[in-house]
Structures are given as C-alpha cells and as structure tokens.
Amino acid sequence: MFSASRGFVPLLAAAALTGVLLGACQPQGAEAPPAATAGGPVRILSAKGLNPQAGEASPQGRLLIGRGKDYTPLNEDPKALFDKLEGSMAERRKTGWAIVEALLEPQKLTLDGKTYDVPLWHTWYEGMSANPEVDQKIKLFIAQLAACKADADCHKSRAEIAHEVMAQSGTDKNLVRSLVSANLTQVLKQSEGFDRGNPEDELGQGFTLFSPSFVEHVLAQAQGIETCSNKIPWNQAPPSAGQFSPCVEEFPRSAVMVKTNWDQIDGASPKVSAHATDAAAVTAVLKGGTWPKPTLEPVDPSGIYTVQTTDGKLFGLKSIHISTKDTREWIWITLWWSPKPDEDFGQDRPASLARFNGGVWSHYKMCVTTAFNETDPKPWGSYETAQPALAAAIKASYDGAVEQRNPAPYDKVTTWCSNPNLEHHTGNGRTNCIGCHQYSLTWNELKERPAYFSDTYAASMAAEYPQYGRARRRANFPAEFAWSFGMEFQEQIKTAREDQGFSW
C-alpha cells in the first residue's frame, strides 16, 4: 500500500527543483528515485511553492519526452478489415486489445540518467487541455499560411505548410506543462453542464489527445473544419465513394483520437468510483438506459496508471477512449479501471499487457465497436466455454439491442459499447460510440438547432436518432466522426485566423 509518508515526503522536502519517481512503494525515508528503468507510473514532483517558470528553466524541471511516433495502422486492407471485424466479435476484441497494446508502447523519458516509461498515447498532442498543444500548432500554421500568402514567391500548398509546422517546435513534449492539477481536473466537454446531483457520481475529468498525423490533417484541412456547416441534410449523398464528409478529406489511417478520464487518488486509503459491468448490469443499462450507481472502491496507486502533478497530487487514469482510423468508420475502443479486472470485459485481456508500466494495465476492462450494425450472429459464441462471464455480458448487450430495433430501415441489430465512467448521463448507457459520433456538427431538425450529443439517446427523439442513436442514420459525416471539430477546433482556427488578420 502506498502512503504519503513513504518516499514522497523526503523528496518533496529535498532541494531538487523537480524529480521523477517511479514505482508506487518506496522504502521508508528514500532520498532519491529508485534505479528501476521500466514500468510503474510516472510521478512528477516539485518542491511546494516553487515558481513553475523557474522549474521549466532548469534542465531538471524540463521533463522533456520525445514526441511519440505516429500509430502504425493494421497491415490489412481497410475494407476487408472492416468486414472481418463487423462480422466477428472475437476478431473485434482481439484487434481492440492489439491496438491498446500498440498505444502502450513505452517511450523513454530520461532524467538525471534514469529512464522512465511513458505510453505512446501520452506523448501525443493535447487538444482540450490546460496544455493546448493542438491550439499552438493551429496558431503556428495560420501564421505561416498568412506569411506565405503575403509573399509572392511562396508557392507552398497547405499540406506542405502543415507538414513543416509539425516538424517545427513541439517535437518534444514537456510533461511539466501537462501534469498540472488544472489539466487533470478539467471537466470533459461531454460532462459539461450535467449534474445528476449525486456527489459520488463526479463528472468526467481529463483531456483529449491526438496523434501527430491527426493534427497535421487538422491543419491542412483547417478551412474545411472552420467553415463546415452543421446544416448538411442527413440524407445528402457524400461527396464521393471515398469521402464521407462534405467538409474535409478523410483522415489518414494512422490518425488516432484519445480521451482520458482521471480521479485524484491521494490520501492514506484512496478510493475511486467503479461500476459493475457484468451481464446483470449490462441488461439493466440496455433496459433502463443508465448505468447503475457506482460504488467507491479502494485503489492502490501501483494498480492504476498514475501520474503525479507538479503540485504533488496523485491522479489515476479511470478510463481511456481510443479511436483509430484503421477503417473508414474508425475503430472505437474504451478501457475502464475495475476492482475485479479479470471478470466479464477483462476475461480475454492478453497477458502481454502486464508488460507495460509495471503491470497497471492488467486492471482495466475493454469494449470495442467498429460498425453501427452487429453482423456477428452470435457475438458471445467464442467465449462461452473459456470466458463465460464475458459471453454473458456480450449476450446481454446483444439481447437488449435485438429488442430495441426500430421499424425498417432501422431494424438491424446494432452494436453496443459504453464506458460506465464517461457515458454516464441518464439514458446514455445504451448507446454505442460510433452512433453518437456520427452526429457531430449536424442539425437537430425537430428542435431546429444544432444537434447536441445528448439528443442522440433521448427516447423522444427516436425517429430522428433511431435505436437511441446506435443506428446509422446519416449518409454523410460532416465532422468525420470527431466531436472535437465543433467543440475544440472550429473556435481555435477562427481565433487564430482573426488574430493574424487572415481570411481564407
């Protein structure tokens, strides 16, 4: 068990501006970080009351980590891959875990001659964050585009300028700027404005991240993103067979979007809220629409992906959403921390995940969806013998979806996947990821206003958002399935442009 009296206090009192600690339990009175070189959470300590600027100015305070490489897409034809995953839950879950593993690939942070492991996803560019790295790239891009436009000798394309901007400043990531309390306690957009009046049910807190190729594409397509209309009719044919969006070109296959959700886990006996996700819970979610109340569960910082902020607080990663553009419809994966990680959605977790960060990833469960429709006729089938609780939970979601088919053409069985910590609003538990994400930057025709994500699962909207939003309704996807277009990037691009006095 971790306790504040072990290891951390002496370091806090030490004169060093900033140190990094690895591993949850230090020997009593340890004066220096352990010599371990792999595994364990990244801990960032700084002496209390220190000016963060001074911290950054010192070489020790600059927790620089090389910006991780791009995600390498699965080496399969995207259409064949899509069909395979849509038709087989076993293939889908196997692929989901494999993608998680790829995103955990350790990147090395070196400080004072010691090396620490940071998962690949954590080195990428932060979007909605106190460390707004995507916004900085957008500003840089607009400035260089404006300069090019003003220079008669500049003939660079937007894609070329975007590529150059990605190679400029910010190729290293400074974790001192990211691991600050303000960032880890920021309420996620999906949780803004919601309060069920239940203090146990704290709102999702955290930040979004995007892979380098995602960010580069946002820059190159900035005009299309900013000027994308939310009034494109749902049944308007897409621009071409290879392009879903009337606003932007589709992302490259290496593009990845990530959303993280953290809870503070300080104190002598830290606890986080957690949900049952067994068959009974899934049946209740599908029927009632809402995740049952969570319980507060003890958590050991060595059993959850943990970071320590510059002001000395510990935060544990409760959930992470990962979406990769491996297929045109993206692959939608979510992990949640569980006190019983080897049951239901954790039963098929590959043992290889224990290799990373001292084994913390063995405490997470996973669900994945890759399509609107469930075309596996018996998605629980391959788990019946060896992983019966997983089979039962999947069957519960399937049975629920079978009952909730709308009249034709929305009469297909749809997929289900929901993170109990993030899709936790009333009614939101029976959705799937892709179903809701299709409605980013669209118009609610019944209410004659932009669609809110919360419209998508309201039963009264059934005709406009069939199957509680799970079914494919749209012929086009203006925002390419990214809610961040309207919630993050449009405003950032507009502001950067106006600041530069630049017009398209």
Q: What is the binding site for ligand HEC (CB under 6 A)?
A: 128, 188-190, 208, 257-259, 321, 323, 332-334, 417-419, 423, 428, 431, 433, 436-437, 453, 456-457, 482-484, 487-488
65 or 434: CB nearest ligand HEC: 434
In whole angstroms, the minimum distance from the beta carbon of 504 to ligand HEC comes to 23
Contacts of range 165-168, beta carbons closer than 8 Å, 24 or more positions apart? 165/137, 165/140, 165/141, 165/216, 165/219, 166/137, 166/212, 166/215, 166/216, 166/219, 168/140
In whole angstroms, the minimum distance from the beta carbon of 356 to ligand HEC comes to 20
3-state secondary structure of 157: coil
Cβ burial, residue 403 (10 Å; 0-12/13-18/19+): exposed
44 or 188: CB nearest ligand HEC: 188
In whole angstroms, the minimum distance from the beta carbon of 400 to ligand HEC comes to 15
110 forms beta bridges with 115
96 or 358: CB nearest ligand HEC: 96
> Which residues neighbour 202 within 8 Å (Cβ) at sequence distance 6 or greater?
263, 273
Q: Which of 358, 369, 184 is nearest to 262 (CA)?
A: 184
Give, rounded to a whole angstrom, the gap between the first and last alpha carbons of the chain: 57
In whole angstroms, the minimum distance from the beta carbon of 166 to ligand HEC comes to 19
Alpha-carbon distance of 43 to 65, in angstroms, equals 14
Q: Which of 85, 40, 485 is nearest to 246 (CA)?
A: 485
Residue type, 299: V
Alpha-carbon distance of 133 to 124, in angstroms, equals 9
314 or 482: CB nearest ligand HEC: 482
In whole angstroms, the minimum distance from the beta carbon of 127 to ligand HEC comes to 6
131 or 456: CB nearest ligand HEC: 456
3-state secondary structure of 315: strand
43 or 321: CB nearest ligand HEC: 321
134 or 272: CB nearest ligand HEC: 134
In whole angstroms, the minimum distance from the beta carbon of 130 to ligand HEC comes to 14
Sign of CA dihedral 24, 29, 30, 32: positive
Instruction: Copy the structure tokens of residue 257.
Output: 């979007």
DSSP for 463-493 reads TTSTGGGTS---S--TTTT-THIIIIIHHHH
In whole angstroms, the minimum distance from the beta carbon of 57 to ligand HEC comes to 32
What 8-state DSSP symbol labels residue 184? H
23 or 252: CB nearest ligand HEC: 252
Residue type, 410: Y
In whole angstroms, the minimum distance from the beta carbon of 420 to ligand HEC comes to 10
Instruction: Copy the structure tokens of residue 317.
Output: 């990663």
In whole angstroms, the minimum distance from the beta carbon of 235 to ligand HEC comes to 21
362 or 440: CB nearest ligand HEC: 440
63 or 417: CB nearest ligand HEC: 417
In whole angstroms, the minimum distance from the beta carbon of 455 to ligand HEC comes to 9
71 or 332: CB nearest ligand HEC: 332
Q: Which residues of 414-451 are buried (b: 16+ CB within 10 A; e: fewer)?
A: bbbbbbbbbbbbebbbbbbbbbbbbbbbbbbeeeeeeb
In whole angstroms, the minimum distance from the beta carbon of 77 to ligand HEC comes to 23
